[in-house]
A = this chain, B = another copy of it.
Amino acid sequence: MPTNRIEADYLLETPADPRRVADLMAGEQSSGTFVAIPGETPELKARVAAQVIRLEILDETAISPSLPSAHLNLTPGAPVLRAKVTLSWPLDTLGPSLPNLLATVAGNLFELKPVTGLRLLDIRLPDEFAAAYPGPRFGIAGTRQLAGVPRRPLIGTIIKPSVGLGPRETAELVSDLCRAGIDFIKDDELQSDGPACPFDQRVEEVMRVINDHSQRSGKKVMYAFNLTGDLDQMRRRHDTLLKHGATCLMASINSVGLVGMVELARFSQLPIHAHRNGWGYLSRHPLLGWSYIAWQKIWRLAGADHMHVNGIGNKFAESDESCIASARACLTPMFADKPCTVMPVFSSAQSALQAPETYRGLGSADLIVTAGGGIMAHPLGVAAGVTAMQEAWEATLTGIPLTEFALNHPSLQHALEMTA
């Protein structure tokens, strides 16, 4: 691509001529409006207008419109066309600004009248964006170093019940998990700093356990404390984490938003575990919103170190194929000189069972896998839950089928029976 233009790929559906609608999209997102206006001269358009640089009709057959449009006469079964459309914009209009990029590539155009489906599939950014934003400060290497896990996946868990435990009870659970050999623990996204489990007390109690365990064993478990909150609260909580020797923080991307995440990344001295809860409302309909391929680029450049990607056999509506494509995207470099690769985080109904398929799909052991119920509900207890996960990955990385490995590994055996 030309180095000074921004590109975005869309999946478009319309009952009108897709070429005309692509032109409308380009106009709406640059110099045009709904009527011709005197100031939009040919010179100005040549300089600043967004351009339709590719358009490929995908389906010639008639299908029903995916989304209603109040001012069109759409009937179920009415003919619509789908097309892949690429628009480009000159960088000079907005500069290398992520917030203004959102307004440009993902602004009003989803609402255009003749659009019965529009999904942002991918974006490509000029190098100026790489220079303007921090990207992940820790990424894969930094996370592995802090967690003391050089090569295999980080085996992790989520505090469960998600809410309801106090600081002391949380620390007791963490103590069990440390003894069981866990690498990584995270707060649930519902648990930040409520009166029932205050952040500062939780950090103090949990880090005492983690630091004691580290002193004894040499292994410092990485705990991602959920500091999601207003900016002043996140700053204060971050400093509390530093003070107690924590090695990771967690924030909910869709709660914090882009400017908050960029600011967090600028002041954070810890890896940022980025939780994507709310992703469903951005992506659940296949002809609306965001693909993860486009979306994750924004947050990696903003400074996330770990990105949630759901998991194989998850409890949600997403296919395994989609989950794997998301995880592979996290490991795909964004810029030649600034790859911004991050740890994909597999979660949701994860257990020992999914290790082989996860590894086969991703083609890498650079990942974090978090199992909540899959560890906490192990019939032999939490320690056996962690051991089973470790055994599953040991088997997977050495190419041994789980059922075979389980023959003389009872923790794994029970895990396979539990989740079968």
Q: Could you tell me which A residues sit within 8 Å of B by CB distance?
A: 29-40, 44-45, 47-49, 66-72, 91-95, 97-100, 102-104, 106-113, 115, 118, 120, 160-165, 169, 173, 189-196, 228-231, 233-234, 252, 254-263, 275, 277-282, 284-286, 288-290, 310, 314-320, 322, 348-349, 372-374, 376-377
Contacts and interface: CB of A to CB of B under 8 A. Distances in A.
A32 B352 CA distance: 20
Given A109-B280, A255-B259, 4 more contacts: A33-B373, A97-B228, A99-B230, A100-B228
Interface centre among A45, A95, A263, A290 (most CB of B within 10 A): A95
Given A189-B103, A277-B103, A284-B110, A263 B194 contact: no
Interface centre among A99, A230, A277 (most CB of B within 10 A): A99
22 contacts: A31-B161, A37-B161, A38-B376, A39-B160, A39-B164, A40-B164, A45-B164, A92-B194, A93-B191, A95-B193, A97-B230, A97-B233, A99-B256, A102-B255, A102-B278, A107-B189, A111-B316, A112-B316, A113-B316, A230-B262, A258-B260, A260-B260
A68 B286 CA distance: 8
A317 B257 contact: no
Given A228-B99, A281-B288, A315-B113, A92 B262 contact: no
Contacts of A71: 314, 317, 319
Contact of A316 (B108, B260, B286): B108
A192 B100 contact: yes
CB-based closest 4 A-B pairs: A257-B257, A110-B280, A259-B260, A70-B319
Given A279-B111, A285-B285, A100 B257 contact: no
B252 A190 contact: no
A231 B252 contact: no
B100 A229 contact: yes
Nearest to A44: B164
A37 B256 contact: no
Nearest to A39: B161
A28 to B, nearest CB: 8
Contacts of A100: 190, 192-194, 228-229, 252, 255
A125 B252 CA distance: 21
A228 to B, nearest CB: 5
Nearest to A382: B38
Interface centre among A68, A169, A290 (most CB of B within 10 A): A68
Contacts of A93: 163-164, 190-191, 194, 196
B34 A106 contact: no
B285 A97 contact: no
Contacts of A314: 71
Contacts of A288: 280-281, 284-285, 288
A49 B163 CA distance: 8
B190 A94 contact: yes
A71 B48 CA distance: 45
A252 B70 contact: no
A259 B262 contact: no
Contacts of A47: 164, 196
Given A37-B376, A97-B229, A161-B39, A29 B190 contact: yes
B263 A317 contact: no
Contacts of A106: 254, 278, 281
B285 A67 contact: yes
A228 B69 CA distance: 29
Contacts of A372: 33, 37
Nearest to A228: B99
A348 B233 CA distance: 38
A318 B107 CA distance: 15
Contact of A256 (B35, B258, B322): B258
Contacts of A38: 376-377
Interface centre among A36, A100, A277 (most CB of B within 10 A): A100
